[in-house]
Structure 1
Amino acid sequence: MLNWLKQPWLHFIVLGVVLFELQAIIFPEPKPLVGPLSDARIDTLKQQWFSATRRLPTESQLANMIAGELDREMLFQEALSHELHLYDTVVYQRLLRNMQFLQIGQDLPEQARYEMALDMRLHLGDEVIKRRMVQVMEQLLLATQPPAQPSEVMIEAAFAERKSELRRPPRYTIEHLYFSRDRAAEVDNAVDTITANDWQPEQARQLGSPFLPGYRFTQQSPAQLARHFGAAFVKNFEEAGPQAMQWVGPVRSTYGMHYVWVESVTPSRDATLEEVRPELQRDLESELRTEALQAAIAELRQRYELVGV
């Protein structure tokens, strides 16, 4: 046994394996390179930010945008390395459309035109294809590292934290008489007539102008009323302190004046957990999905060299 271990050929093999492993440690395979972004691309990011906010990004905001763009490039490269673009119908149709626009290979069958587009590397410079591949890659990452599901403890904690935000708004059931701007001078007389005769809305409706959204609104929140009458109406209406079975106003809106009959008022109240459980569940699932995706992307970054972060 000892004689066998002394054989030169065995020493040669062991030494070769050791040298191979040392080479891999000392001279590792270079990581795929992503970046840096071109000056033109960075200027585009700045312009997009300015268009959305009407101000230039700070250094920190610009750095975050650049990091996000490099992540997109990395996900695109990863998708290409898995050849995901070769199995996606959106990419297939997009490349055919590009070939048609360029008027290349029009006499060829679809498959031949598609393969020609790949040979021309049209998929590398198409923003629609890039967005699609990034989306597909994100889905693949989430499939391999699925997010956790919200627990009951998380739902209850979110409910407690967002209690004021989740509070149910007041609800109003109202009818109104509408007086357009050119009839504003008639409002006081109409109010006097309604008061003197103790009229209900049905009897008084003849005094007002037509109002396209209608005359009766049932169990409406302030936000819903604002969609019909505008925010100014809701502000003036609520400041008047509406009470059930009473007239309120005249109340001014962006359209004119309104004399409002309040049929019922449901005060605002705290929501119950069961009322908002679907909303909390949906929001938590979205948060956990984002966290899982960011963790997967962070892990993927270890296999790339990102320049310009």
Structure 2
Amino acid sequence: MRDLTPGVLKASWLHFLLLGVVLFTLQGFLFPAPKPVVGPLDDARVATLVQTWQGFNTRAPDASERQRLLRSELERDMLFQHAISLELYLHDPVVQQRLVRNMRFLGLAAEADTEALFERALELRLHLGDEVIKRRMLQVMEQLLLASSPPAVITEAEIVAAFQQRSGELRRSARYSIVQLFFDRNREAEVPGLIARIEQEALPPQDAVMLSSPFMQGYTFTAQTPDQLARRFGAVFVSNFLATVSEPRRWYGPVRSTYGLHYVWVDDIEPARDATLAEVRPILQRDLESEARSIALAQAITRLSERYELRL
């Protein structure tokens, strides 16, 4: 059989085909398709972002903080735009319920069934301007990004290192077990006599409670930190109480709070101490996992942003 290979290689149609492939490939390198554009944000939206930032920080953002703020908002828009391009909204029950509810609220095709209302809402492009749907799509996109680029697994060495670094922060506060008698401002004049009676009759704390004015928070509190006491009695009480108390199994006071006067039996004091690793392991694990998740998500968003043009 005759070898046709040399003839085929000399064929003009093959030369044109190869030239076309080369030109198409070069075009992709030399003239890439333009990236989708996100931004810039309009002035009103920028002003709202800056105002919100100032509300949390009590000052205006500097130039770098402002740039990070705008960049973060553009990344949110990018994620939403990418979710829309992937048509993630088509099969999300939260989006469907939201659009159907909006359609009925607006009185648009109120008699139609759920599927028809959903389709009509999409035709009206209601999904593009709804903040609830945007937040939902951002959540879905973040889940997809983390699924494709999962966070690093937290190791025991990282937990131990975090425990050592945060030992001061994780120190266990002193705890107080108390029984308190409360006297409102109308009864303050009675307090010296009532204290004398308690001491003379050696009334047990649970019996002495009968002399107290009503107090909505209660009378007996077990193993309370100063912060917990402050939530119940206020910072003034805690400041006065800690300045007075020194040992358990005795009465202290009267101790003033913003509510009135308190006569306090201190049943037990657990001194402040360093936490053990076993006690704070769940906290450390949670915080490290949250940090790893944030890092992984930020890296994934950065990679995705390379496919877009973000205009500040």
Question: What range describes the TM-score normalised by the shorter chain of this pair?
Answer: over 0.9
Q: Equivalences for 1:22-171 in 2 at 5 Å?
A: 22-171=26-175
Q: Distance in 2 between matches of 1:114 and 1:215?
A: 57
Task: Indicate conservation of the 8 Å contact 1:242/1:248, yes or no.
Answer: no
1:242-280 C-alpha deviation (Å, 9 max, x unpaired)? 311111111111111111111111101111001111111
Matched, 1:287 2:308: no
Structure-1 residue corresponding to 2:251: 247
Counterpart of 2:125, as a letter, is: R
% of aligned pairs identical? 56
Q: Distance in 2 between matches of 1:297 and 1:53?
A: 26
Change in Cα spacing, 1:7 to 1:206, as seen in structure 2 (3 Å) is: closer
Matched, 1:269 2:273: yes
Matched, 1:9 2:39: no
Task: Indicate conservation of the 8 Å contact 1:171/1:220, yes or no.
Answer: yes
Counterpart of 2:224, as a letter, is: Q
Change in Cα spacing, 1:189 to 1:135, as seen in structure 2 (3 Å) is: same
1:161-199 C-alpha deviation (Å, 9 max, x unpaired)? 110111111111111221111212222222333334433
Q: CA deviation at 1:290?
A: 0.7
Gaps of 5+ in 2: none
Change in Cα spacing, 1:3 to 1:110, as seen in structure 2 (3 Å) is: closer
Q: CA deviation at 1:4?
A: 5.0
Q: CA deviation at 1:53?
A: 4.1
Q: Distance in 1 between matches of 2:78 and 2:21?
A: 34
The alignment's TM-score, normalised by the length of structure 1, stands at: 0.94
Q: Distance in 2 between matches of 1:205 and 1:16?
A: 96
Q: CA deviation at 1:70?
A: 0.4
Candidates 172, 176, 198, aligned match of 1:172: 176
Q: CA deviation at 1:75?
A: 0.3
Candidates 237, 241, 250, aligned match of 1:237: 241
Task: Indicate conservation of the 8 Å contact 1:96/1:110, yes or no.
Answer: yes
Q: Distance in 1 between matches of 2:174 and 2:255?
A: 18
Gaps of 5+ in 1: none
Candidates 185, 188, 193, aligned match of 2:189: 185
Please, which moves more after superposition, 172-181 or 59-68? 59-68
**SS of equivalent to 1:298:** helix
Q: Distance in 1 between matches of 2:130 and 2:113?
A: 22
Q: How many residues align?
A: 308
The alignment's TM-score, normalised by the length of structure 2, stands at: 0.93
Counterpart of 1:98, as a letter, is: N
